[in-house]
Amino acid sequence: MTPNAVILAAGRGTRMHSSMAKALIELSGVALVEHVVRAVSASDLKRPLVVVGFQAERVEEALEDQADFVHQEELKGTGHALLVAIQALPQETEQVVVLLADVPLVPPELIGTLTEAHQKSGAAATLVTAHVPDPSGYGRVVRGHDGQVVAVVEEKEADASIRQISEINTGIGIWRVAGLPSILQSLPLRGQEQYLTEAVAALVAKGESVRAVVAPDPELVLGINTRRGLAEAEARLRQRTIDRLFEQGVSIVDPLSTFIDAEVEIGQDTIIYPMTVLRGKCRIGRGCRVGPGTTVTSSRLGDDVIVERSVIEHSVVGPHSTVGPFSHLRPGSLLEREVHVGNFVELKNTRVGMGSKMGHHSYLGDATIGSQVNIGAGTVIVNYDGREKHQTFIGDEAFIGCNSNLVAPLEIGGGAYVAAGSTITQNVPTDALAIARNRQEVKPGWAKAHKS
């Protein structure tokens, strides 16, 4: 029978010195607990049951239909948390795999190995353990003369001899449900907590066997308890992501100065230049050139896009378009094919049609711009009146002269021209010329007279 999965995610994580629940702290752009949920989904386990407590609603929102939830109303430790979970599982549940929200790098294949070993052994519980050079802070795995696990002792309760043991408990394990609730209910309180690890000795005392699977790579099963540990896990996961992209035909010029989140997808023959940050759910096409000094957040870039020294946030850039240097696409921007956004241009909530160009020093907000439009240098769409944002519509093949102010709400027809230096406050018909500036006046000899 396929085991159920329980993820313990109720704690505060005080050692992280954060105002948010530990399960919500991000690793490579994804909440810690979501990494564990994905590992469960990639294995043969059932849909996970997540035990939530501190900031429960935020944890549930972060996972968004990826798991079921049960509330641990009193944060009384891991033993109590598992008891709460078992009481919420179907009565026919025979085995439960327990994982921790702060062990995000656990490989799905290790979960499979654990489940297989447990079912073959017939043990009451099988733990994932690891041998580490510095076991400080972890529960030690105590084995009997026959090599079988007889107890797990938390460091607070350990004497000097037990502290010398280098084999640690990772918190990951599979437990037979039959008889387990009564053991969990009888666990002693240590401060205000009941430790799940103390159930090991209780099972052994009843004549049951407890087995262990030793993790081949300890770094993948260590809990994240400090900001330093988070940074170390980030480096490990980032390298895993970069290796994946290398195998997919992506060139990363300097991996040490490039930061790519786990969910980023990049097409073949794209080059990522140094000092580039790709965050969130980015999708970058084939043959692109991104960077140097570029940040792209949860955006989509089509094939053959060039972005240099710019920032793109929650936007879409169509194929064969160019952005930068030193430009900013704020959320809601959409560039269609072959659009050119030059240096020092800012867009916000703006759609730009195929082949349109804005070379330099412009702000375009809350606008719909047609195809083959030319936006001259220094053009500003004045979209905010102090209370509301207003829309601007510019038709196909319009020409906006340099240093123009387009005061929204406004519509400029297709093929229309706006003369340089104009402040436009009224709609411009199709194929018209709009001029809104003082007529030039020349006074011969005035400068010479002024100087004298």
Please report whether residue 241 resides in a domain. no
3-state secondary structure of 415: coil
Considering just the CA atoms, what is the radius of gyration of the chain in Å?
30
pLDDT recorded at residue 2: 86
Over pLDDT 70: what percentage of the chain? 100
Please report whether residue 244 resides in a domain. no
Q: Decide if pLDDT at 156 tops 90.
A: no
Dihedral Cα 23, 24, 25, 30, nearest 10 deg: 110
Q: Are residues 207 and 329 in the same domain?
A: no
Dihedral Cα 242, 245, 250, 254, nearest 10 deg: 0
Q: Is 360 a catalytic residue?
A: yes
Is the CB of residue 354 less than 8 Å from the CB of residue 370?
Answer: no
pLDDT recorded at residue 137: 86
pLDDT recorded at residue 384: 95
Is the CB of residue 155 less than 8 Å from the CB of residue 137?
Answer: yes
| Closest listed residue to residue 8, CA positions, set 307, 285, 223 | 223
pLDDT recorded at residue 440: 85
DSSP structure string for 67-119: SEEEE-SS--HHHHHHHHHHHHS-TT--EEEEEETT-TT--HHHHHHHHHHHH
CATH label of the domain that carries residue 331: 2.160.10.10
Q: How far apart are CA 305 and CA 286, in angstroms?
A: 8
Q: Are residues 170 and 73 in the same domain?
A: yes
Q: Are residues 212 and 313 in the same domain?
A: no
Q: Are residues 64 and 134 in the same domain?
A: yes
Which helix H or strand E contains 219, and what residues bound it? none
Q: Are residues 254 and 346 in the same domain?
A: yes
**Side-by-side strand order, sheet with 283-284:** 265-266, 283-284, 300-301, 316-317, 334-335, 351-352, 367-369, 392-394, 410-412
Q: Which residues pair with 136 in a beta bridge?
A: none
Q: Are residues 327 and 364 in the same domain?
A: yes
Q: Are residues 264 and 211 in the same domain?
A: no
Q: How far apart are CA 341 and CA 320, in angstroms?
A: 12
Q: Are residues 215 and 256 in the same domain?
A: no
Domain count across the chain? 2
Average pLDDT, the chain: 95
pLDDT digits (tens, 9 = 90+) for 235-252: 999 999 999 999 999 999
Domain that holds residue 64: 4-220
pLDDT digits (tens, 9 = 90+) for 177-213: 999 999 999 999 888 899 999 999 999 999 999 999 9
Mention every residue, 6+ apart, whose C-beta is less than 8 A from residue 111: 39, 40, 43, 45, 97, 99, 172
Q: Which single residue is written with the structure tokens 């430009």? A: 327
Please report whether residue 114 resides in a domain. yes
pLDDT recorded at residue 12: 87
Q: Are residues 196 and 126 in the same domain?
A: yes
pLDDT digits (tens, 9 = 90+) for 9-28: 998 888 888 999 999 999 99
Q: Decide if pLDDT at 117 tops 90.
A: yes
pTM for this prediction: 0.87
Band of pLDDT at residue 44, cut at 50, 70 and 90: confident
Q: Are residues 17 and 103 in the same domain?
A: yes
pLDDT digits (tens, 9 = 90+) for 310-338: 999 999 999 999 999 999 999 999 999 99
Band of pLDDT at residue 96, cut at 50, 70 and 90: very high
Q: Are residues 153 and 254 in the same domain?
A: no
Please report whether residue 231 resides in a domain. no
CATH label of the domain that carries residue 205: 3.90.550.10
Is the CB of residue 157 less than 8 Å from the CB of residue 190?
Answer: yes
Q: Which residues pair with 98 in a beta bridge?
A: 6, 173
pLDDT digits (tens, 9 = 90+) for 387-443: 999 999 999 999 999 999 999 999 999 999 999 999 999 999 999 999 999 888 999
Q: How far apart are CA 77 and CA 22, in angstroms?
A: 15
Q: Are residues 208 and 273 in the same domain?
A: no
Please report whether residue 21 resides in a domain. yes
Given the residues 314, 320, 360, 361, select the one marked as catalytic: 360
